[in-house]
Amino acid sequence: MTTPTIDPIRLAVPSKGHLYEGVVEILKTAGYKVRRASDRQYEATIAGHPRFHVVFMRPTDIVTQVEEGRCHLGVTGMDLFAERAAESARTTVVVPDLGYGGCRLVVAVPESWIDVSHIIDLVDLTAEFKASGKTFRVSTKYSALTQAYFRKWGIYYYQLIDSDGALELHPSLGIADVIVDLTSSGTTLKDNRLREIEGGTVLDSASCLIGHAPGLAALAAEGETGPLALLLDAMDGVRASEGWLHLEVVGSPAAPGPETAAMVAAYLRDQGAQHIARGEVWDDQSAPGWRVTALVAAKRLTACQRRLFELGANRVVGLPTRFVFDRDGHSTFDSLKARLSELGERASG
């Protein structure tokens, strides 16, 4: 009797760069370590999860491969997905922000344009160009997003110049008048004598997880113990734990227990700590004491420790958190399953 073949789950990951590094680290922390022998290897496995098959490609190609159903899941930039969203009827966003790769798609003008400070100023400026017989030129790699955003503000008189090169040079070289491009800190724009304008943010972007809706529907049907649910739950736990430490504050037996523990809990609450709990403890001599546990922002711990000792703490321990699961927390799998169900009902209706 032959064993039935189980189809692999294909996960498309950027082949290099910060999008690659970020997702590989998330997967590793979640218990899904990608086995890749070298940067030149374009296929890999995940240790302990043989059903997952990882393929490496350019972020722009990932959108296409997920849309066409060759890959079930893919990690790319939200900007790249949004630019092709109209063509992606069968693609759904599983996680809109994986927590890294944040940037913004913005309209940037030359610093010398002192009279242009808001996106609405481009309405009059483009009309002036048209009236004088000149063409207002906009360089961008994101023509669909730019056209939609300009239409929203009533900007119609312009020419798009599609380019994959360094757009920051275009105004100074006379190729374009303004650009629409990605920025994170704004330093590159400033270094090239460009600046953002108010109201000119076309899109807030970050790394995201997308999926092929029909393929995910079949995987979601395998239930809460299926590979899709386990992967998404693990990623939820990792993302919820980022930036937090599990804090344990143990009180000196000499300090009054309930009263001191209450003061410590109140202080931690004021510092933004979460999931605070109090309890009794006993040392190895059976002397009673108290303990307060909480989740505290890692960057806040060193600023808190002296005050905790003043309040009566005997020991303060901050442990790195790998997973945080909250009964009332967001479940990506549950949200995805509900969304896929709605999509299925619309398709059948």
CATH number for the domain harbouring residue 248: 3.30.70.120
pLDDT at 254: 60
The H-assigned helical ranges of the chain are 17-29, 59-67, 78-83, 121-131, 143-152, 170-173, 187-191, 213-220, 227-241, 257-270, 301-311, 332-348
Reported as a pLDDT band with limits 50, 70 and 90, residue 346 is low
User: Which residues, in sequence order, are bridge partners of residue 179?
Assistant: 108, 139
> Are 64 and 125 contained in the same domain?
no
CB 54 within 8 A of CB 42: no
Tell me the residue length of the chain: 349
Q: Which two tokens stand for residue 270?
A: 């004021």
Query: Residue 37: helix, strand or coil by DSSP?
Result: coil
Instruction: Give mean pLDDT, residues 70-77.
Output: 96
User: Which residues, in sequence order, are bridge partners of residue 204?
Assistant: 104
pLDDT tens for residues 127-177? Answer: 999 999 999 999 999 999 999 999 999 999 999 999 888 899 999 999 999
Q: In whole angstroms, what is the distance from residue 51 CA to residue 300 CA?
A: 41
Distant-in-sequence, close-in-space partners of 161: CB < 8 Å, separation ≥ 6: 137, 138, 139, 140, 170, 175, 176
- Predicted model pTM: 0.87
Q: In whole angstroms, what is the distance from residue 8 CA to residue 10 CA?
A: 6
pLDDT tens for residues 16-52? Answer: 999 999 999 999 999 999 998 777 889 999 999 999 9
Higher pLDDT, 220 or 165: 220
Instruction: Give mean pLDDT, residues 281-310.
Output: 89
pLDDT tens for residues 231-286? Answer: 999 999 999 999 999 999 998 666 555 788 999 999 999 999 999 999 888 877 77
Q: Give the number of other CB atoms < 10 A from CB of residue 233.
A: 18
> Are 14 and 69 contained in the same domain?
yes
Q: Residue 178: inside a domain, yes or no?
A: yes
Q: What is the CATH number of the domain that holds 197?
A: 3.40.190.10
> Are 195 and 227 contained in the same domain?
no
> Are 251 and 301 contained in the same domain?
yes
Q: In whole angstroms, what is the distance from residue 77 CA to residue 146 CA?
A: 16
Q: Residue 230: inside a domain, yes or no?
A: yes
